[in-house]
Structure 1
């Protein structure tokens, strides 16, 4: 007999998803930030598209420089012209993000990047193939990126609730990885079919998505929250400006918040969306005081570095990343390894380069468990040690599939450490310091791998690629183990009570 019908439908709805489906949801990436925050959803989508476009342009510029000069050295200079401005302006971009409206800063820097891509496309259409012009554009793009990234990252805690911050950072890591994987592939395809001008034009169009997302955001003035354990919270866990009855300064009896930077209520609407009445003048005056105080201060990189040096958990998070990037980053050895170990060629090198990114993408896809973890410090230490261990074993492999497997595992571990580190930086830092700390993070991410590649190449020349890779991985594991013993408080860091 057919069991379909109202009773059957109700029964199936009552049962809900099966155990396999529920288990899958527990491990798959948490999409709650995209569902619950329209601002974060637009920002994430815009950044994902623009990251792919930037990766396309990076490859197209390298190809065009080689096409003009036929010199690998000239192509290498592209990286130098990008790296130096990124290192310098990463720190100052973070300082600026802590003093001005981050939304406006993001808009201006995104508009600058878009204009530079338009200039590249116009020059390519006109046949203006001057290498100095390409170098100049690359340097200016790095400046715009160095200013944009700290402002964008510092916005995230204002767009999602604290319990979704880890999931938001896992999604952000997917943005970076998708650009790393898809951008070069699409860039090579587009250049082959439509020329350099097409790749640059697509990049300019891609930036329009990021511009739209920034334009739709509310104002993002940095808060003045002091140096408490959590931005805007006191040592007892109460919100700064919170009275004994639990209401927040500028908060009405109905629970609506005025002056919140989290969502559209930053415009100080009431719970019904109506403009504020005259009774809210005190809250508006407080917001204006914050803004004028921010404008009165000059951005100080030194203050940000001093703050970082005096906060053990944040300091240890940065040092752990340096351990992985400097001691165990053998990317410069991939061409030699492809030939000497695997008997391959440039295609084999491409597989070795892509393997960590594939592992990072898989780690992000199956990141649903991260939001349920509270011991962020311990996870960072374990992930960095796992990176070092995977790199060490990779140095012992002589089968290509096995080498790719361990590089993918290393990439997955790197994604985990990066996501938890970003969450720690955003949750344990006062809002007025987030831009500067993100600027330092950019410098570490940009500079650490370069130092690591130099170290790996130097050791390999003195010994062998295998010794350099395996020795570097072992050194990373030893270093992070010593860190865990020396700074025991970092391993006890609890996301429910984030302390810098």
Structure 2
């Protein structure tokens, strides 16, 4: 066999997505259950803002969906992280999945009964957000237990890529439903699909092994109270690079997330119908494509610099998409934005999981839940409010440009982020001013 023939498989492995975490049975079950449930969730993610816009005819009300989702995340997200560190994470995940099921059934019931209440929609979105705040930290923290530390970046990439795949197929399917059936029929169908497929997440939680918390260093029982949450913040305060990674993600989502504008833009520029499905799918398409060639991400050394560049690229691509007037061009530019988002998400989440000790992962993931899930909700409010006052074009383009500029300013003001590199082997080499947490799997924290 020639040297060229030998090098081709190696080169493919350098770029192809790493599937080794799927060899771990427990992780594979969770991955399958999440994938099916996330596909169903996309139907609701499209149906709720479309229903709200149909009821009110105002993007401001669509933006209020972001508030309804963010407030419970802020209130319960940090507590949910403390719960994930104090209780069996498998049971926490199961309880959150059941609560989410209840909220989706409520959405189905109000659509079937044609209640037509914007306030009820906001309330059910808030209930769904509570369930995510409770189960999200536990689900994310489970990865550090289910796979060895060296496979955490690959497992994280698999999770994000799968989420993006469902975010592509789900909104497209939802858009097809909206295009084929009348709205009073399409909305109940969308909610029913979500309620049915959510059973997969319950199945996955039931099949996981028990995940009791690690013993408390002080020897006492773990508590999910205010003191535990404060301890998590104290730990995070000693890790400035992690704080900066949270900050730059908030900048990206709050200023450059155009989701709340999709129903209005689809209706005004492209005649509604299936166009809204393409807009909701486009960012996920980019993330999916980037995930399929993500083998290089696990080998990145300048992770902080890559994170900053990805956020800047995200903001610029979103701004250019807001200027486009052809649907295919808007979708293409949002695809580029989605690719940048996949890179930034994987790098930041890998940093968080690998270096946090298991006893702190739940609480740090609680903060992460508030940032990752709350940022887009605040972005919805920002976009909806700006669109109501200045028009959807200003809200879209101005937000993207602001995110790119602010990301650069943050990197210049706090160079520790761009200097950051992951540790080599088991002996992390801290950057100046960075009291980095212990590497997963090292010492007693593994």
TM-score, length basis structure 1: 0.71
The correspondence of residues 248-259 of structure 1 with structure 2, limited to 5 A, is none
CA contact (8 A) 2:44 2:194 kept: yes
CA contact (8 A) 2:175 2:277 kept: no
Give the distance between the partners of 1:32 and 1:413, measured in 2 at CA: 24
* 1:41 is aligned to 2:41: no
Give the distance between the partners of 2:408 and 2:19, measured in 1 at CA: 34
* 1:29 is aligned to 2:39: no
Determine the structure 2 residue equivalent to 1:321. 249
Using the TM superposition, name which of 202-211 and 171-180 deviates more.
Answer: 202-211
Give the distance between the partners of 1:91 and 1:305, measured in 2 at CA: 10
Question: Where do 5+ consecutive residues of structure 1 fail to align?
Answer: 1-10, 227-288
How much has 1:204 moved relative to structure 2? 3.9
* 1:479 is aligned to 2:406: yes
Determine the structure 1 residue equivalent to 2:137. 150
Aligned with residue 433 of structure 1, among 342, 357, 360: 360
Larger helix fraction of residues: 2
Give the distance between the partners of 2:207 and 2:267, measured in 1 at CA: 50
Give the distance between the partners of 1:396 and 1:121, measured in 2 at CA: 36
CA contact (8 A) 1:225 1:430 kept: no
RMSD value, Cα: 3.7
Higher radius of gyration, 1 or 2: 1
Give the distance between the partners of 2:224 and 2:244, measured in 1 at CA: 32
CA deviations 1:307-358 (Å, max 9, x no partner) are 3233201100001111212233344455666688xx5322545433332121
How much has 1:145 moved relative to structure 2? 1.7
How much has 1:50 moved relative to structure 2? 0.9
How much has 1:417 moved relative to structure 2? 0.4
CA separation of 1:225 and 1:458: change in aligned 2, threshold 3 A: same
Determine the structure 2 residue equivalent to 1:306. 234
CA contact (8 A) 2:79 2:225 kept: no
Aligned residues: 419
CA deviations 1:222-277 (Å, max 9, x no partner) are 33587xxxxxxxxxxxxxxxxxxxxxxxxxxxxxxxxxxxxxxxxxxxxxxxxxxx
TM-score, length basis structure 2: 0.79
CA separation of 1:90 and 1:179: change in aligned 2, threshold 3 A: farther
CA contact (8 A) 1:33 1:167 kept: yes
Determine the structure 2 residue equivalent to 1:213. 204
* 1:169 is aligned to 2:156: yes
CA separation of 1:463 and 1:211: change in aligned 2, threshold 3 A: closer
The correspondence of residues 221-370 of structure 1 with structure 2, limited to 5 A, is 221-223=212-214, 293-295=221-223, 300-334=228-262, 343-346=269-272, 347-370=274-297
CA deviations 1:280-314 (Å, max 9, x no partner) are xxxxxxxxx96x53259766333333332332011
Give the distance between the partners of 2:266 and 2:314, measured in 1 at CA: 20
Question: Where do 5+ consecutive residues of structure 2 fail to align?
Answer: 431-435, 438-446
Give the distance between the partners of 1:360 and 1:317, measured in 2 at CA: 19
How much has 1:53 moved relative to structure 2? 1.9
Give the distance between the partners of 2:248 and 2:298, measured in 1 at CA: 21
How much has 1:397 moved relative to structure 2? 4.2
How much has 1:123 moved relative to structure 2? 8.0
How much has 1:359 moved relative to structure 2? 0.8
CA separation of 1:111 and 1:17: change in aligned 2, threshold 3 A: farther
Give the distance between the partners of 1:390 and 1:88, measured in 2 at CA: 33
CA deviations 1:84-141 (Å, max 9, x no partner) are 323322222112112111111112222333355456667888x595857766544333
Give the distance between the partners of 1:89 and 1:367, measured in 2 at CA: 33
Give the distance between the partners of 2:306 and 2:110, measured in 1 at CA: 48
